[in-house]
Amino acid sequence: MEPNTSPVRSDEILERLLSLHPKVIDLSLERLERLLAAIDHPEKKLPPVVHVAGTNAQGSVCAFLCSCLSHGGARAHAYSSPHLARFHERIRLAGALIEEDALSDLLAECERANGDAPITFFEITTAAALLAFSRVEAEWLVLEVGLGGRLDATNVIDAPAATVITPVSLDHQQFLGDTIEEIAVEKAGILKAGVPCVVGAQEDAALDVIHRTAERVGAPLSVAGQDWRVSEENGRLVFEDNHGLLDLPKPRLFGRHQVENAGIAVATLRALGFEEPACAAAMTEVDWPARLQRLKSGPLIEAVSSDTELWLDGGHNPAAGEAVAAFFGQLEERSPAPLYVICGMLNTKDPDGYLRPFDGLARRVLTVSIPGEPNTLPAEDVAQAAVRVGLSAQAAGSVEGALRTIMAESANDFVSDAPRILICGSLYLAGRVLRENA
C-alpha cells in the first residue's frame, strides 16, 4: 500500500460518504462503473475471485472458504458486509484486517475521484475495497455480495474463478421482490458464462430459476443433493461427489446448519481443484463471530451468574430463526436449561417469522430497541410479534436491563438449572454487543 497521506480518520470520511446519495440502497452498476473507470479499473487487476451470493449462510460459507484458501501459507483477501464492531472488518487484505492509515487513504482517493457525483455508501466503499485488493498481492479473493446479486456493487467482476449461491429465502423483499422466484433471479445474476457455480440446497422454485439462468448464460452448476451430498456421521463431516468421498473433521462452528454450509464450501473448493487436506483445514480453522457464538468474557458475562450460558447470533430472517432454534432444541435435549431470548430487530425484517420457531422452546422473550439504529423496530413492537406467535414476551430498556430481569427471575425460581440466554435478531445488535462487551 502507498504511505498514508490523509490526516483524516476513516470514520470521518465514511460519515461524509453517507451524504453522497439520498438512498441508502439503490441497486445499480452504472455509478460504480463510472467510479471504477476513474480509478483505473481495479476490478480488472484482482487475484482469482470466488463470488458468493445467497440469502442465508453467505458469511459462514465465506469464512469456511477463507480458512481453507489461507491454509498452508497462501494469501486470501476477503470482502464482507455489514461489519460488526468496526468498518475495517469488511476488508481483509491477505487475511488481516485493513489498517486505519490504508483505509483512510483509499477512501479519500475514491472520494476525490468521485467528486460530488451521486453514489451509494456501499458502492464507493466497494470501490475502495477493490482498489485495496488490486494493490496487495494475494492468491485469492473471496467476495461476498452485499444485497441481491444482479445489480449488487460486487457484480462488476467479469470472470470470477467460481460463483456460489447459498440457500435463497425471503429477505429484503422491498428491494429484491416478494417471491422466492423474484429473489432467485437477483441472486442468479452473478452467474457467468463458463464459470462454475456451486449451489446450496434450495426450494424448488429457486432452483428452477437458477437452472434456467445457468442454461441461458452457459454456467455449469454443481447442485446440493444432485451433484454432491454432505452429512454428519459419527462426529465427522462426510462429503461425497463424483470425485469420491471425503471424511473430514466436523466444523468448528455450532449448529447442524453449519454442516450444510461447510458442504457448500467443500463443493466450491473441489471445483477449484483443492484436495482433502485443504478441505479439512476449512473445517478446523474457521472462525466467524456472532454466529452461535458463546460469549466467554466481558461486562455482560460479569452481569450473569458463573453457570449461565450467554450466546450471540446475528441471524435475522425466518430461515435463520429456524436454524438457530433447531440448534437450541438439540442443545436442550443434551443439556436441559431454561432458554431466554433477548431479541432486537430492524423494521425491514419479519419478527413474527424469525421468532415463531422459538415457540415451545423459549421460556421468555425480552425485546430491545437497537441503540443508535434509526431503522430499529421499537422493543414494544418486537414483543408484540413474539406474543402473536405464542411466546411470553416483554420489552426491556436494554440488553443489560434484560439480563438483570432474567437473573432476578432465575433467582426467584425453584428450578435449579441456570438459564441459557440467547441475544439475537440482528447483526447490528450483535455488533453493538461485541463492541460493548470487549
Q: In this predicted model, what pLDDT tens digit does every residue of 130-143 receive, in sequence order?
A: 999 999 999 999 99
**One domain, residues 128 and 63:** yes
- Rounded CA-CA distance 423/139 in Å is 37
**One domain, residues 355 and 230:** no
**One domain, residues 235 and 337:** no
The range of the structural domain enclosing residue 45 comes to 10-284
The stretch 184-208 carries a mean pLDDT of: 96
Please state, for a pLDDT cut of 70, what percent of the chain lies above it. Answer: 96
Last residue of a domain, one of 260, 284, 308: 284
What's the pLDDT score for residue 281? Answer: 84
Q: Each residue of 253-291: pLDDT tens digit?
A: 888 889 999 999 999 999 999 889 889 988 888 888 888
Identify whether the C-beta of residue 316 lies closer than 8 Å to the C-beta of residue 399.
no
Q: Assess if residue 190 is contained within a domain.
A: yes
**One domain, residues 241 and 376:** no
Q: Assess if residue 176 is contained within a domain.
A: yes
What's the pLDDT score for residue 8? Answer: 66
HSE (side-chain half, CA atoms, 13 Å) at 175: 20
| Sign of the CA dihedral with 179 first, then 182, 186, and 189 last | positive
Examine the pLDDT at 4 and tell me if it is beyond 80. no
Please list the helix, strand and coil fractions of the chain in percent, rounded to the nearest 5, in that order: 40, 15, 40
Q: Assess if residue 52 is contained within a domain.
A: yes
**What CATH number is associated with residue 118?**
3.40.1190.10
Grid coordinates belonging to 153? 456493487
Last residue of a domain, one of 284, 316, 346: 284
Q: Each residue of 70-113: pLDDT tens digit?
A: 877 789 999 999 888 889 999 999 989 999 999 999 999 999 99
- Rounded CA-CA distance 136/140 in Å is 11
**One domain, residues 298 and 432:** yes
**One domain, residues 271 and 413:** no
**What CATH number is associated with residue 356?**
3.90.190.20
**One domain, residues 235 and 170:** yes
Give the pLDDT band of residue 335 (cuts 50, 70, 90): very high
**One domain, residues 264 and 302:** no
What's the pLDDT score for residue 416? Answer: 60
**One domain, residues 343 and 262:** no
What's the pLDDT score for residue 2? Answer: 45
**One domain, residues 277 and 321:** no
Q: Each residue of 10-32: pLDDT tens digit?
A: 988 888 888 877 676 777 899 99
Q: Assess if residue 5 is contained within a domain.
A: no
Average pLDDT, the chain: 92
Contacts of residue 175, defined as CB under 8 A and 6 or more positions apart, other chains included, come to 25, 27, 147, 148
Examine the pLDDT at 191 and tell me if it is beyond 90. yes
What's the pLDDT score for residue 172? Answer: 66
Q: How many domains does the chain have?
A: 2
**One domain, residues 230 and 318:** no
The 3 state secondary structure assigned to 318-335 is: HHHHHHHHHHHHHHHHHC
